[in-house]
């Protein structure tokens, strides 16, 4: 692996057999120690290049807040028997969201990545989608 903290990147070359890979990297040398996930297909005798994005803590919190508000305990859609995490654990989610918002207010905004949508924006998009059906 090569790269520097000052340059903000790390480069690595890894030989792998043909296949499909779900990858992510971890390093203390960049702005965040964990990158986002990437999915890559490697064919026989080919080189695959993957650029992994290492979001800032502010960006991670911005993605986590709507997830806490809207996510369920599984991949199935919300129905009468399936509650969101916020519905099932309202006190814990409220406490977590308040703490995360307080932390985010003290952090610089991410200049690399666009700000993720809020829960309200996601609901609005979902409503428009439902109206088109």
pLDDT at 9: 61
Kindly state the average pLDDT of the residues 95-111: 92
Residues 16 and 66: their CA atoms lie apart, in Å, by 36
Q: Which residues are CB-neighbours of 33 under 8 A, at least 6 positions away?
A: 26, 27, 54
Residue 73 or 101, more confident: 101
- Entry pTM: 0.72
Q: Is the pLDDT of residue 26 over 90?
A: no
Q: Which residues are CB-neighbours of 102 under 8 A, at least 6 positions away?
A: none
pLDDT at 75: 63
Residues 23 and 38: their CA atoms lie apart, in Å, by 5
Can you list the alpha helix ranges (DSSP code H) found in the chain?
Answer: 57-70, 85-88, 90-105, 119-132
What ranges do the domains of the chain cover? 2-42, 57-124
């Amino acid at each position: 692996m090569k790269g520097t903290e000052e340059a903000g990147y790390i480069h690595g070359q890894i030989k792998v057999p043909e296949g499909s890979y779900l990858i992510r990297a971890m390093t203390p040398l960049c702005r965040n120690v964990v990158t986002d996930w990437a999915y890559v297909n490697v064919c026989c005798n080919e080189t695959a290049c993957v650029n992994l994005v290492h979001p800032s803590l502010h960006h991670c919190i911005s993605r986590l807040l709507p997830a806490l508000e809207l996510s369920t305990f599984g991949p199935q859609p919300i129905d009468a028997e399936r509650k969101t995490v916020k519905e099932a654990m309202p006190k814990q989610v409220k406490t977590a969201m308040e703490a995360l918002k307080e932390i985010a207010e003290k952090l610089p905004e991410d200049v690399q990545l666009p700000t993720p949508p809020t829960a309200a924006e996601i609901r609005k998009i979902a409503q428009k989608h439902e109206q088109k059906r």
